[in-house]
Amino acid sequence: MNYVQKALVAAAAIAAPVSAVAQEAGSLDEKVNAAFASVTGPFVNLIFAPFPGTSFPWIVMWLVVGATIFTLYFGFVQFRFFGHAIKLVKGDYSDPNDAGEVSHFQALTTALSGTVGLGNIAGVAVAIGIGGPGATFWMILAGLLGMASKFTECTLAVKYRNEYPDGTVSGGPMYYMKKGFAELGLPGGGFLAIMFSIFCILGALGGGNMFQANQAHAQIAGITGDYPGWITGVVFAVVVFAVIVGGIKKIAQVTEKVVPFMGILYVGASLIIILMNYDQIGAAFGAIFAGAFTGLGVAGGFVGALIQGFKRAAFSNEAGVGSAAIAHAAVRTKEPITEGFVSLLEPLIDTVVICTMTALVITISGQLIVNPETGLYVLNEAGTAIATVGNTSGVALTSAAFGSAISWFPYVLAIAVVLFAFSTMISWSYYGLKAWTYLFGEGKASELTFKMIFCVFIVIGAAASLGPVIYFSDAAIFAMAVVNIFALYFLMKLVRRELNNYTRRLKAGEIKAYVH
């Protein structure tokens, strides 16, 4: 077992108040948990294998190197076209005659509803609990670099999507892998598309489903008291079933409208807490910068902070993973690259803004125990994570941090977590379905099969304990990134061609804004 896995085991262990419900809930939960852990173990070990002789997981390096290469290859596109991306989202370049089609704003917010969620609340807490506040620095850096990965994949997703005669669209990495490789005369595009689709289905069932159900249950149980996880799972499964199988769109539509406001409320509450403790902002940023390079006594030192920061950023904003590309592919635009520009705002909002808010609140709240003499963080008994007030971790740590400043906020947070979890599940059910139909063909029977499997995994996710679920969720999502980034290296020249062409026409005034 490598360092990261040990650390995660410890995180799961100190998450006892959170996951105790699932762990103590009786034989059914225990059986589900044990069976799940044994089945997924080898896959998890492969994805998180460290470089020989180090504790550095190769997958983290894979993501960082990918994002850095895309950033350099496109000449820091995330900064050069930031202003243009904002104008596109505002609709300045939208043709009024296309009114009624999916707008850039809608594609962006739909993709965001799949990424903003537990990764921002629970994931950040896990990163800081294990890697210390310094993990935040690496998380922000990963977010900024990830903007270029997102730009690349979303441009391709729109360019190579399938448009059917009835007007519906299907797009995503599996489509650009197959069509893009064929366009370049390269072999293997079809194989990569199949691999990606398999991992996307696993990711949809893991991070997009089980992790969400698991943490939503933990939140509800934290308020109502212990009860078996499968009960939450069944309730969630029934509601999700009603939406994705029963076609009761009202539930999803209401959620889609409520979730953005919960997001704004979350950021608003974070800002209030940060401003209430304005005298500690300097110290918090000091801890973030100092911790980024020294670790401030955290197990694993700065490498531990770096690993956690990059990992949780990737898990949260999914840049390079390819999931959001499926959502962005639905936009109606004559210029695929415009959706790439818009999508680069996603890691910025998700990671650089929202995750940083969570990190600052946790750091400022005093939930992380510091040795007053040395100024270093005190580790827990196992020595693998920072000791916290009340031994909390994950979403419970975030909740405690908010609760220390606004006593009633944990209740709002609980509602937000449940809604975020639900919204993420709905988004990922669509991503998984697109991968499924890519493999098995479009059709009612095929779609229903996937949707039924998806609902069953909600129950499993709610019943299993945090450890195996978080391993599997991470592993499946990162496996998507392995295939996706590999394909992007070959296809990025197509994006650069689009970028150069668009930039030339923009400068020449051929692409005009409709709103001035």
Partner 1 sequence: MTTKLVVGLDGHASGEKALAYASRLARLIGDCELVVAYIVEWSPFSFQTAEENAQRHKRREKEIDTAMERVVNPAVKHVTDSGLKARGLVRHGDVSDTLIAISKAEGAEQIIVARTSEGGFAKRFFGSSTSNLVMSSTVPVTVVS
Q: Which residues neighbour 110 within 8 Å (Cβ) at sequence distance 6 or greater?
A: 256, 327, 330, 427
Note whether 169 binds partner 1 by CB under 8 A. Answer: yes
Q: Pick the closest to residue 346 from 67, 110, 76 (CA basis).
A: 110
CB of 469 to partner 1, least distance (A): 23
If the CB atoms of residues 29 and 335 are measured against partner 1, the closer one turns out to be 335
Q: Pick the closest to residue 304 from 133, 421, 184 (CA basis).
A: 133
Note whether 107 binds partner 1 by CB under 8 A. Answer: yes
Which amino acid does the sequence have at 470? I
Q: Measure the CA–CA gap between 499 and 102, rounded to whole angstroms.
A: 22
Q: For residue 280, give both structure tokens.
A: 């500690």
Cβ burial, residue 180 (10 Å; 0-12/13-18/19+): buried
If the CB atoms of residues 273 and 331 are measured against partner 1, the closer one turns out to be 331
Count Cβ atoms below 10 Å from residue 289 Cβ, excluding itself: 14
CB of 452 to partner 1, least distance (A): 17
Which residue of 19, 109, 356, 484 would you call a contact of partner 1, by CB under 8 A?
Answer: 109
Note whether 344 binds partner 1 by CB under 8 A. Answer: no
Q: Measure the CA–CA gap between 172 and 178, rounded to whole angstroms.
A: 10
Note whether 113 binds partner 1 by CB under 8 A. Answer: yes
Positions 358 through 417 that interact with partner 1 (CB under 8 A)? none
Note whether 100 binds partner 1 by CB under 8 A. Answer: yes
Which residue of 167, 185, 225, 282 would you call a contact of partner 1, by CB under 8 A?
Answer: 167
Instruction: Please identify, among the stretches 101-109, 142-150, 180-188, 191-199, the one whose residues bind partner 1 according to the rule CB under 8 A.
Output: 101-109
Which residue of 20, 102, 369, 382 would you call a contact of partner 1, by CB under 8 A?
Answer: 102
DSSP state of 94: -
Instruction: Please identify, among the stretches 146-154, 425-433, 481-489, 496-504, the one whose residues bind partner 1 according to the rule CB under 8 A.
Output: 425-433
Positions 427 through 446 that interact with partner 1 (CB under 8 A)? 427, 430-431
Note whether 426 binds partner 1 by CB under 8 A. Answer: yes
Per-residue x/- marks for partner 1, 275-314, CB under 8 A? Answer: ----------------------------------------
CB of 332 to partner 1, least distance (A): 6
Note whether 101 binds partner 1 by CB under 8 A. Answer: yes
Q: Measure the CA–CA gap between 237 and 250, rounded to whole angstroms.
A: 16
Instruction: Please identify, among the stretches 69-77, 216-224, 426-434, 473-481, the one whose residues bind partner 1 according to the rule CB under 8 A.
Output: 426-434
Q: For residue 93, give both structure tokens.
A: 């370049």
Question: Phi and psi of 227, rounded to 5°?
Answer: -160, 160
H or E stretch including 369? Answer: none
Q: Which residues neighbour 240 within 8 Å (Cβ) at sequence distance 6 or greater?
A: 422, 425, 426, 429, 454, 455, 458
SS (H, E, C) 139-164: HHHHHHHHHHHHHHHHHHHHHCCEEC
Note whether 115 binds partner 1 by CB under 8 A. Answer: no
Positions 68 through 97 that interact with partner 1 (CB under 8 A)? 91, 94, 96
Q: Measure the CA–CA gap between 303 and 359, rounded to whole angstroms.
A: 18
Q: Pick the closest to residue 420 from 103, 83, 115 (CA basis).
A: 115
Instruction: Please identify, among the stretches 1-9, 322-330, 350-358, 363-371, the one whose residues bind partner 1 according to the rule CB under 8 A.
Output: 322-330
If the CB atoms of residues 29 and 318 are measured against partner 1, the closer one turns out to be 318
SS (H, E, C) 259-312: HHHHHHHHHHHHHHHHHHCHHHHHHHHHHHHHHHHHHHHCCCHHHHHHHHHHHH
466-507 helix and 58-73 helix, angle to the nearest 10 degrees: 10
Instruction: Please identify, among the stretches 7-15, 128-136, 229-237, 254-262, the one whose residues bind partner 1 according to the rule CB under 8 A.
Output: 254-262
CB of 119 to partner 1, least distance (A): 18
CB of 95 to partner 1, least distance (A): 11
Per-residue x/- marks for partner 1, 443-482, CB under 8 A? Answer: ----------------------------------------
Which residue of 85, 252, 397, 487 would you call a contact of partner 1, by CB under 8 A?
Answer: 252
CB of 102 to partner 1, least distance (A): 5
Helix, strand, coil % over all residues of the chain, rounded to 5: 75, 5, 20
Number of separate helices (H) and strands (E) present in the chain = 25, 2
Q: For residue 375, give both structure tokens.
A: 């100024």
CB of 100 to partner 1, least distance (A): 3
Which residue of 185, 257, 445, 510 would you call a contact of partner 1, by CB under 8 A?
Answer: 257
Which residue of 105, 227, 241, 289 would you call a contact of partner 1, by CB under 8 A?
Answer: 105
Q: Pick the closest to residue 21 from 216, 291, 298, 290 (CA basis).
A: 216
Note whether 507 binds partner 1 by CB under 8 A. Answer: no
Note whether 343 binds partner 1 by CB under 8 A. Answer: no
Question: Phi and psi of 424, rounded to 5°?
Answer: -65, -40
CB of 274 to partner 1, least distance (A): 27
Note whether 212 binds partner 1 by CB under 8 A. Answer: no
Count Cβ atoms below 10 Å from residue 421 Cβ, excluding itself: 27
Which residue of 20, 188, 265, 332 would you call a contact of partner 1, by CB under 8 A?
Answer: 332
Given a contact cutoff of 8 angstroms between Cβ atoms, the answer to whether 95 and 79 are in contact is: no
Instruction: Please identify, among the stretches 74-82, 103-111, 127-135, 228-236, the one whose residues bind partner 1 according to the rule CB under 8 A.
Output: 103-111
Q: Pick the closest to residue 230 from 90, 473, 29 (CA basis).
A: 29
Q: How many residues bind partner 1 (CB under 8 A)?
A: 38
Given a contact cutoff of 8 angstroms between Cβ atoms, the answer to whether 192 and 463 are in contact is: no
Residues that bind partner 1 (CB under 8 A): 91, 94, 96, 99-107, 109-111, 113-114, 166-170, 249, 252-253, 256-257, 259-260, 326-327, 330-332, 426-427, 430-431
